[in-house]
Amino acid sequence: MAENIQNTAIDAGDDKNFAVTVKDSSDVVVNITGSTITYKVVRRRGGTALVSKSSTDTGEIVLTNSTGGVFTVTFVPADTNNLAPGFYYHEADAVIGGLRSTVFKGHLTVRTKSVST
């Protein structure tokens, strides 16, 4: 499995969906039909998960195009309301055919809203 770097940002308290395509080390799309995807956000590598999501929980991670290797991670306001602005580490793992692999890792930037709601 190719280990991709996926850096993204979100304003605290926002909804956000981001799509990820799973590819192998030859950059070929991996069929993720029947797989389990987990996703975590931590302050630093090895830290306690501040946000944790799984494809086994309805609406958190959706296999949006399984044969095309695409899944979508969904954030709701409660996921980031209590996170301080700054840089976090995030990663997703997949269990495909009984084998666990890291699909991506990278930085998640949580920004302060510039306008109050």
> Which tokens belong to 37?
């995807």
Q: What pTM does this model have? A: 0.89
The residue ranges of every structural domain in the chain are 4-111
DSSP-derived 3-state class of residue 77: helix
> Per-residue confidence of the chain (117 residues) as pLDDT tens digits?
656 889 999 999 999 999 999 998 888 999 999 999 999 999 998 899 999 999 999 889 999 999 999 999 999 999 999 999 999 999 999 999 899 999 999 999 999 876 665
Phi-psi region of 34 (alpha: psi -120 to 50; beta: other; left: phi over 0): left
Token couple for 73: 């991670």
Q: Which CATH number fits domain 4-111: 3.40.1360.10, 3.40.50.620, 2.60.40.10, 3.30.1370.30?
A: 2.60.40.10
DSSP state for residue 68 in the 8-state scheme: G
Q: What percent of the chain has pLDDT over 70?
A: 94
Evaluate whether 14 touches 85 at the Cβ level (below 8 Å).
no
- Distance of CA 112 to CAs 16, 73, 74, Å? 15, 21, 19
Which amino acid is it at 117? T
Residue 67 per-residue DSSP state: G
* Alpha carbons 7 and 5: distance in angstroms, whole number: 6
